[in-house]
Amino acid sequence: MLLKDKVSIVTGAAAGIGAGIAELFAEHGSTVYLIDLDGDGCERVAARINAAGGTAYAHTGDVSRVDSVIGATQTAASRHGRIDILINNAGIYPRRPFLEMEEAEWDQMQDVNLKSVFHLCKLVVPHMIAQRSGKIVNLSSVTFFKGLANLCHYVASKGGMIGFSRSLARELGPHNVHINCITPGAVKTEGEIIHAQPDMLADIQRCQCLDRRLLPVDVARVVLFLASEMSDGMTGQTLNVDGGLILY
C-alpha cells in the first residue's frame, strides 16, 4: 500500500499505460480520477477498479482543452480537499514524414502531448502548494534520446515535457512538490498496436538488453515509485523504462 489515502489524477487512463497506472495506483490504496477522451473506455477501467475493491471516478475530457478537464480537478479537490498526485500520460503518436506534415498536425501534437501538461499542472499545482506536498509524473518517451523518423512533431513534444519538468522542478521544489519524467521504450499497448509496424518492434526488441516486450505494468510500477514517498529525494529527473534499449 504505497499510496494509501492518496488522491490521484491520471490522464489517458482508458487504455494502455494510463489504464495500467490507474489500476496499480488503486491497488496501492489511492482514489483515482481517470480522464480520457474515450468516455466508454474510461468508464470500463473505473468499473474494473471499483469491482476489485478500489475507488475510481471516470471523467470524459480532452486534455488539450482546459475547459474540458477543469471539472475533474475541481471535483477531486472539493470531494477530498486535496490532490496528491498528477500523472500526465495522455498522448498521441501518429507517424507522418516531415515534408507531408501539416501545421494543424504539428499543433494538435503539441496541444495534446505538451500543452495538456501546462493545463493540468496549472489546475493541480495550487492545491499541491497549499498542502505542501505533491507528486507529478510526466510520460515522455525514449524517442527523445534516440530520435525517430516520421515523428519529429511527437519527439519535439516529448522533449518539451522534459524541459518543462526540469524547469518546474526548480520552481516547485521549495514547496515540496516533486515533478519527474519517465521515458518508456516500446510498450505493448492499444496505441502502439495501431501505430507501430511489427518489423520495427522486432528490431527494437533485438536492441534491448531484455529479450521481451514491455507491458504497461512495467511502466506503471516505476510511475508508482515516482508517485510514492519512496522517491521523496528525487525531482527534475527522467527515468528510462525501455528494457535496456539505451544505456547511459
Residue ranges in contact with ligand NAD by CB under 6 A: 11-12, 14-18, 36-38, 41, 62-64, 89-93, 112, 139, 141, 184, 186-187, 189-192
CB of 187 to ligand NAD, least distance (A): 4
CB of 5 to ligand NAD, least distance (A): 26
| Amino acid at residue number 49 | I
Nearer to ligand NAD among residue 203 and residue 232 (C-beta)? 203
Q: CA-CA distances (angstroms) from residue 246 to 45, 58, 96, 123, 215?
A: 32, 36, 24, 34, 18
Nearer to ligand NAD among residue 13 and residue 125 (C-beta)? 13
Give the ranges where 88-173 is alpha helix by DSSP (H): 103-110, 116-131, 143-146, 152-172
CB of 196 to ligand NAD, least distance (A): 7
CB of 21 to ligand NAD, least distance (A): 9
Instruction: Check if the beta carbon of residue 158 is closer than 8 Å to that of residue 115.
Output: no
Nearer to ligand NAD among residue 23 and residue 36 (C-beta)? 36
In the three-class reduction of DSSP (H, G, I as helix; E, B as strand; rest coil), residue 4 is classed as coil
Instruction: Check if the beta carbon of residue 113 is closer than 8 Å to that of residue 154.
Output: yes
Q: Active site residue: 33, 57, 93, 154, which one? A: 154
- C-alpha cell at position 120: 493540468
Q: Does the annotation mark 57 as catalytic? A: no
Nearer to ligand NAD among residue 91 and residue 160 (C-beta)? 91
From 33, 71, 73, select the one nearest 49 (Cα to Cα). 33
Euclidean distance between CA atoms 146 and 176, whole angstroms: 32
- The residues carrying an active-site annotation are 154
